Amino acid sequence: MFSLDRDYAQYHEQVYAFIYYLTFDKSLAEDLMQETFIRAYDARTSFRGQATMLTWLRKIARNLTYDYYKRQKILRFIRFTNTYEQFLPSAEELLHVQEDVRELYKALSQLKFEFRAAISLRKIEELSIKETAQVLGWSEAKVKNNTERGLRALRVLMEGEQTDE
C-alpha cells in the first residue's frame, strides 16, 4: 500500500532522476516528480503489488512526462516555434555536470523520447530488460530494439558534435 511519507522518503531520488533523464530540466523534473506522487496518492487503492513500488512510480512518471511532451508538441505546432532548441539543456542546467560529459547530455536530450527512456533505464539506471519493459509498458523485444537504436542514434549525434568541433 502506498504511503506518501514513507514512499517519498524512499523513492523520491530515483523518480526525480528518471524524470530528469527524460527532460534534462531541473524545475520541470521537480514539478513532474511532485505530480507523480500526487497521482500515486490518488491511485493508491489501485496499486496491487504486481510490480515493485518503484516500478509503479516510474511508470506514472514516464506517462506524465510523455503527456507533457505530447502537449508541448501541440503547443509548438500552434506557435510555430523551433523544435529542438527548446529541449537542449541550458548552460545553467549543466552546471553540475563534468565538462567532458556535457556533450553527452546534449546529445541525449536530442534523442527521441522512446530512445531516451530506454537508454536512461537500461544504461544509466541499469535496470533489467524485464523491469524496463514493465516501467515503459513495452515488450522486452521493444526495449532491446529501442535501446540499441537509441545508442546508435546517440553515437551518430556524438560523432556529429565532434566533427563540428
Q: Is 17 in the site for another protein (CB under 8 A)?
A: yes
Q: Please name the residue ranges forming H helices in the chain.
A: 4-23, 26-42, 53-79, 102-109, 113-119, 129-136, 140-164
> What length does the chain have?
165
Q: Which of 10, 34, 55, 63 binds another protein (CB under 8 A)?
A: 34
Alpha carbon dihedral 75, 76, 77, 83, in 10-degree steps, equals: -160
Q: Which stretch binds another protein (CB under 8 A): 51-59, 76-84, 92-100, 132-140?
A: 92-100
Q: How far is the CB of 17 from another protein (least distance, A)?
A: 4
Q: What's the grid cell of residue 78?
A: 500552434
79 CB burial (10 A radius; 0-12, 13-18, 19+): exposed
Q: Is 76 in the site for another protein (CB under 8 A)?
A: no
Kindly tell me which of 13 and 140 has the beta carbon lying closer to another protein.
Answer: 13
| Residue 101 contacts another protein per CB under 8 A | yes
Q: Is 42 in the site for another protein (CB under 8 A)?
A: yes
Contact between 20 and another protein per CB under 8 A? yes
- The answer to whether 73 contacts another protein (rule: CB under 8 A) is no
| CA gap 102, 104 in Å, rounded | 5
Q: Select the residue interacting with another protein from 66, 69, 87, 105 (CB under 8 A).
A: 105
Give 14's Cβ-side CA count (13 Å radius): 18
Which CB sits closer to another protein, 112 or 139?
112
38 binds another protein (CB under 8 A): yes
Q: Does residue 12 touch another protein according to CB under 8 A?
A: yes
What number of other Cβ atoms are within 10 A of residue 140's Cβ?
13
Number of residues engaging another protein in binding (CB under 8 A) = 35
